[in-house]
Structure 1
Amino acid sequence: MVERSPSGSRRSLSTQAEDSAPGWDAAPAETRYVRGRRRTSAEPLAAAWNLEAAAEDEAPRRGGLGALLAAYGWRIYAVPVLVALTALVVFDAARPGGGTAGAFGLAGGSPAVTEAPAGPVNLNIPTAELPGGGAFTQAGAGTWRILPGNGPRVGTGPKLFTYTVEIEDGINPAEYGGDDAFAHLVDQTLADPRSWVGQRTIALQRVDAGTPNPSFRVSLTTPNTDHRPDMCGFQITYETSCYNAGNRRVVINLARWVRGAMAFGGDLLTYRQYAINHEVGHAFGNGHVGCESDGGLAPVMMQQTFGVADNYVAQLNQVDPYNKKAVATDGKTCRPNAWPVPEAKPSG
């Protein structure tokens, strides 16, 4: 989220920084434990397992527990241990998410892949790294095509902003779900009462190539193009999106669109809505802010791509002269939030 001046100088490193930018065995199973087939001269499990018969031979010489211990030694303890281990394996295989590749690392299955993490995300650790996930095009052509489509005016505010929706040339549509899906989410997000129109100070309308000089351009962009000095830059070396005031372009980083951000814990839809609202917020003149209420929802203009802990975001901003003092080192941590007016009733 780096906002750039018309001269191309970096007004807000948030562009790049939140606006800117991480098998086994040979013997057949059915013969493996048949006596005489392997290790017949030193096979500990070949000891007598008929404890009753063995006890009848030994009992006359010694009585009670002592007799059993003298006769079978370690085998007395081995049996209950083996029973316990067997029960544990059965439990691991039966529990949700268990299966044959459970705690013992047994072969025979691959773990299920889910979009959300297994547990709560620790929001007070470094969270700016790009999460793992789908593939994306690293470098596009550096040019954009405007997607066709005009929309109605949304919002009741007196100030009208127009926008286009654009895709950088050279991106595989399968990576972002196709042109219609991208444009629909942009339009749907910006028309939602929880978005900027909910403040009732502005109105929005989508236009296409037939309308000259839109107020801003929402442009899906590859990381290499995003990193260019005339776009978002890469001073804070983590993937991020930005708004460049010089060319009035809302740069949506393809890497983040595909992978999201760690602070959002795998909620890719909410992250995408956040990225749109945050960068468009710069087009309306809004700068970066920190967490306002410890444990509360993060302001949409917080650099949530990097994280929602003020101390961590403030540390990253020290290399950005425009955002160096945007966030205080005050120990506050918020919860991820995609909306400028989160209390409003969702559309639809």
Structure 2
Amino acid sequence: MTSRAYLVAALAATATAVTTIAACGTAPPMALPDAAPQPVAASASVPAPQAKAAPREHITYPEQGRGTWSEAARQDGGPAGREGQVMRYRVAVERGIEGVTADAFADKVTTTLEDPRSWTAGEQYRFRRVGPGQSADFVVRLATPGTRDALCDGADGYTSCRNGANVVINVARWVKGVPRYGAPLSVYRQYVVNHEVGHRLGESHQRCPRRGGPAPVMQQQTLGLHGCTANPWPYPDGRLHQGPLGSYNDPTPPRDRGRR
């Protein structure tokens, strides 16, 4: 057999063998040379755009502020609530507190007081925020720890208070909340506004009525929950939630210093 005829016969035999093995599904994979890297489509390598996170609030303050105030603008519209005495209030932030404006603080106060779970639910009171220099039944003030002591009956530098027409929110609590509260800072802020405004409406301190249940808003939740759970609303389910009159002999934590 010539060499050319021999080569043709050998190739034919190899093709027959490969076809037979492939048909039985037992052919080993054929070694192939490494493929050249293929370009990746641009759309596959570009991550989807991410939504920008809102800037985090950063409030700073000295231990003792200036004792002067920036006041929020008047709220448009009529009073919140269906029935009851209209309580007019102003909102002010002490100068020297940085990172929150009077209007921004006022928005949170107003949103809390206008919530249907707040004091308007009892239909004894309605609330209307008035502007600088206007007559008001009370003023909600965001104050430094030192000014809080000057305005409140008792100098502890830690808690908030109500004294006369002044509803005083200690900026240290507004920024830091309290330990072991078991709820977000936003919930604590709602609580402290409703608690101190509650004092302006004539409400007294109350105690936890049942372990595992919500604390009354007039419980001193800043100092301890005593088996209750955090609750910022006087009417959490449409009904006034109360506990026995009285308070606990809780120690007040050390006074707060400035935050820079």
Common fold by TM > 0.5? yes
- Could you tell me which runs of 5 or more consecutive residues in structure 2 were left unpaired when the two chains were aligned: 1-55, 240-260
Matched residue, 1:291: 208
> How big is the shift at 1:199?
1.1
Structure 2 contact 73–103 (Cα < 8 Å) conserved = no
CA-based RMSD: 2.1
> How big is the shift at 1:135?
4.7
Matched residue, 1:191: 114
Deviations 1:280-334 (A, max 9, x none): 000000010100112100000000001111xxxxxxxxxxxxxxxxxxxxxxx10
Question: Are 2:85 and 1:159 aligned?
Answer: yes
Matched residue, 1:180: 103
> How big is the shift at 1:134?
6.8
- Could you tell me which runs of 5 or more consecutive residues in structure 1 were left unpaired when the two chains were aligned: 1-114, 116-132, 310-332
Higher relative contact order (CA 8 A, sep 6+): 1
Task: Tell me the distance in 1 between the aligned counterparts of 2:170 and 2:157.
Answer: 11
Across the two proteins, how many residue pairs are aligned to each other?
A: 182
> How big is the shift at 1:178?
3.0
Equivalent residues in 2 for 1:99-178, closer than 5 Å: 135-151=60-76, 152-172=78-98, 174=99, 177-178=100-101
Q: 1:153 to 1:134 in 2, by over 3 A?
A: closer
> How big is the shift at 1:136?
3.4
Matched residue, 1:231: 152
Matched residue, 1:206: 129
Structure 2 length normalisation: TM-score? Answer: 0.65
Amino acid across the alignment from 1:335: T
Amino acid across the alignment from 1:198: A
Task: Tell me the distance in 2 between the aligned counterparts of 1:219 and 1:171.
Answer: 12
> How big is the shift at 1:265?
3.3
Identity of aligned residues (%): 41
Equivalent residues in 2 for 1:12-27, closer than 5 Å: none
Task: Tell me the distance in 1 between the aligned counterparts of 2:113 and 2:102.
Answer: 17
Structure 1 contact 226–233 (Cα < 8 Å) conserved = no
Question: Are 2:186 and 1:269 aligned?
Answer: yes
Equivalent residues in 2 for 1:314-333, closer than 5 Å: 333=227
In structure 2, the residue corresponding to 1:274 is in which secondary structure?
helix
Q: Tell which structure's C-alpha radius of gyration is larger.
A: 2
> How big is the shift at 1:207?
0.4
In structure 2, the residue corresponding to 1:263 is in which secondary structure?
coil
